[in-house]
A and B are shown apart, each in its own frame.
Chain A
Amino acid sequence: MAKQTPAAKFNRALDRQLSTPKALVTAVEFEELRATGTTPVPSFTDALRDMPRERFKERLRRNLERRAKMATSTQAAPEVRATATPYLSVRNAAAALEFYKKAFGAIEVTRLMQPDGRVGHAQIDIEGARIMLADEFPEFGFRSPESLGGSPVHIQLDVKDVDAMAPRAVAAGATVLRPVEDQFYGARSGQFRDPFGFIWSISTHNETLSTEEMQHRIDEMAKNEAAALPRKYIREGFHSITPYLVVPRVAQLIEFLEGAFGAEERFRVNRPGTQVIMHAEVKIGDSMIEMADANEQFPPTPATIILRVDDVDAAFLRATDAGATVLQPVADQDYGVRSATVVDASGNRWNIFTPNEGDVIFKDFRSVTPHFNPMRAPAMIEFLQKAFGAEEIYRAQSPDGVVHHAQVRIGDSVIGMGEAHGPYQPAPATLHLYVPDADASYDRALRAGATSIQPVAEQPYGDRSGGVRDPYGNRWFIATHIRDVAV
């Protein structure tokens, strides 16, 4: 025998209680009768199973109201309920009146004309909503959205059938800002701008919800949105690309950067019992630089960094005071910046610059941008595209094909490059690259021609990362930040 659910018990009890004297049966008899297919008393649960849905009853009532209204549409405009009435200041109120009639089925209630032909006051009725309007009178400070460049107030218009009204409004010349759709709070609504610059949120109530249901829906939407948001795969404070200076004398380098460029040391960890720095992080301006003392496993890879500063002349002086050697003194460049290049004691090159007024090439650069001097820039760009989905955003090329300057974007960061010339010869660097999916990017880099340094694995500092060497000798540590780890 099937297990008795509470509902079935309830059903039986009620059926007994509800049995009329004419058809009085015990629960047992009732079950027996039901087994033979004849029920003397309609089952309570059968009735509940057939019960009308509340939404259906509501919907049918609204449908009947609409039909009833159509049957009475010849009668006078319905009573106005609004107590606060929008008063629209319009450029060409006469045209607006015609528009509102066509678009919203407005009924013109009043129109008063000024001697100069302007509409001094008008009143319309849209399905019982009262709206007043007039031509703009700039001389009295009464200006239209067209004079003001828009209107900060939206008009919320509740109508019987937004799906019927929306196409009419669009046909009459309204612009769709948001198409009509179901809203979580139990209405269908859309947003429209009329040709006179007013914004209308047109809405039809379609579902009566309790506050709990609305809140529940908001919570659900928030959950779904959070799930749809891209995961934060870059460590807090970092960008997609961070130069990693693997060089000798890191402790000295940090001091130099503090003195020359206002760097702030954020993190340092020594090899236990030694002064050898295994990993350090400094912040310069809005960017991070990571560094570590070079060793046999990781030989030195000093980098070229394009460093944006507020005052290149002052920074140059501080850098040389701090011991940098000069590769190129401060000068205005023909590409719109004032710049200099210095070399620190660890061998890193700092191309410090301040954009001149009107510069468009470097204006979006962060404080720190890594720079490369490949033999042929297009080949390296192609590799970066294949391996890391880089996007070329700028290229200055002379008629003989030499690329003087190119920029590619990876994630939220930019890499600069200029083909090798004079003292600027290819030199491999090390970079820390944050990507949404380290495993996938690592595989892609290998397919694009890189070789593995270390496979992708979860690291104790909260990243999942692996390393590759690109065909130009640069080391890329490809990482996805998974969780924050207290240091």
Chain B
Amino acid sequence: MKARANDIEERLLVEAAQKDPARFTDLYEANFERVYAFVSRRVHARADVEDITAEVFQHALENLPRFEWRGVPFVAWLYRIAANGVADRWQYLARESGRAAKEAPSVDFDHEEIERTERRAQIFGDVAKLPAEQRRVIEMRFAEDKSIAEIAKALGKSSGAVKQLQHRAYTKLREQALKGLAGRAGGRNG
């Protein structure tokens, strides 16, 4: 039931955006983490991940009028665009390095691959939902690879305060992760 409700909601979002491109940002918000998760599992450099993610959504916005609803989730379409972007990048990197390009990533995922991408997107989404300061600490700690001392300096806080923020963020992320796991397990059984 839940899945179906989501499908209907997504379909309405797509149709709204097809009528009024300004509504595309709703689709962007709903799918950003998944696309980013998909790309970041396949491309290493952050700059490349950002470039490809941007291209995916720009391409999707431009081609949205041609998108036809065939009962496949909207995100599958985005994944296909992303897979092309990733393949292009691999080819480019291969040319640069003189090595043979990897084969284009498959978008016919097995269950496990979907699960992994979804879980990664879930983590990204959970981080995004953290209170601003906690989120900033996690971003600096992991994405920017900064030390507690560096973060404390950048935020004008004590190291203790930063550790406290990090701890709260961890606790929250753990809760969310477990909830997500339970949700998925329930979905599979139901």
Q: Are B124 and A51 in contact (CB under 8 A)?
A: yes
Tally of contacts, chain A with chain B, CB under 8 A: 117
**Secondary structure type dominating chain A contacts:** helix
- In the assembled complex, A227 has its CB within 8 A of some CB on chain B: no
CB distance from A79 to the nearest CB of B (A): 11
One of A12-20, A228-236, A333-341 contacting the partner: A12-20
Residue in B41, B62, B142, B174 whose beta carbon sits within 8 Å of that of A49 in the complex: B142
Interface size class of A (residues with CB under 8 A): 35 or more
Residue in A18, A51, A64 whose beta carbon sits within 8 Å of that of B28 in the complex: A64
- In the assembled complex, A154 has its CB within 8 A of some CB on chain B: no
Residues of chain B lying within 8 A (CB to CB) of residue A219: 156
Q: Are B120 and A47 in contact (CB under 8 A)?
A: yes
Residues of chain A lying within 8 A (CB to CB) of residue B32: 52, 57, 60
| Bound-complex Cα distance A20 to B116 (A) | 10
| Bound-complex Cα distance A61 to B28 (A) | 7
- In the assembled complex, A252 has its CB within 8 A of some CB on chain B: no
CB distance from B62 to the nearest CB of A (A): 8
Q: Are A10 and B124 in contact (CB under 8 A)?
A: no
Closest to A210 in B: B132
Q: Are A72 and B123 in contact (CB under 8 A)?
A: no
- In the assembled complex, A484 has its CB within 8 A of some CB on chain B: no
Residues of chain A lying within 8 A (CB to CB) of residue B24: 64, 68
Q: What does the 1/0 interface line of A150-180 toward B look like (CB < 8 Å)?
A: 0000000000000000000000000000000
- In the assembled complex, B57 has its CB within 8 A of some CB on chain A: yes
Residues of chain A lying within 8 A (CB to CB) of residue B133: 210, 212
Residues of chain A lying within 8 A (CB to CB) of residue B13: none
- In the assembled complex, A56 has its CB within 8 A of some CB on chain B: yes
Residues of chain A lying within 8 A (CB to CB) of residue B40: 50, 52
CB distance from A100 to the nearest CB of B (A): 24
Interface residues of B, CB < 8 Å — how many?
49
Q: What does the 1/0 interface line of B49-65 toward A look like (CB < 8 Å)?
A: 11001100110011000
Q: Are A51 and B139 in contact (CB under 8 A)?
A: yes
CB distance from B155 to the nearest CB of A (A): 7
- In the assembled complex, B112 has its CB within 8 A of some CB on chain A: yes
Given A10-B170, A18-B119, A53-B143: A48 in contact with B61 (beta carbons within 8 A): no
- In the assembled complex, A320 has its CB within 8 A of some CB on chain B: no
Q: Are A67 and B177 in contact (CB under 8 A)?
A: no
Q: Known contacts A60-B57, A64-B28; can you find 13 more A-B pairs with CB under 8 A?
A: A10-B174, A47-B119, A48-B123, A48-B138, A51-B139, A60-B53, A60-B54, A69-B21, A71-B21, A72-B20, A212-B133, A212-B156, A216-B156
Top 6 closest pairs, chain A to chain B, by CB? A48-B142, A68-B21, A50-B40, A71-B21, A216-B156, A47-B123
Interface on B for A, CB 8 Å cutoff?
Answer: 20-22, 24-25, 28-29, 32-33, 36-37, 40-41, 46, 49-50, 53-54, 57-58, 61-62, 112, 115-116, 119-120, 123-124, 127-128, 132-133, 135-136, 138-139, 141-143, 145, 155-156, 170, 173-174, 177-178, 181
Interface on A for B, CB 8 Å cutoff?
Answer: 7, 10, 13-14, 17-18, 20, 22, 42, 44-45, 47-54, 56-57, 60-61, 63-65, 67-69, 71-72, 210, 212-213, 216, 219
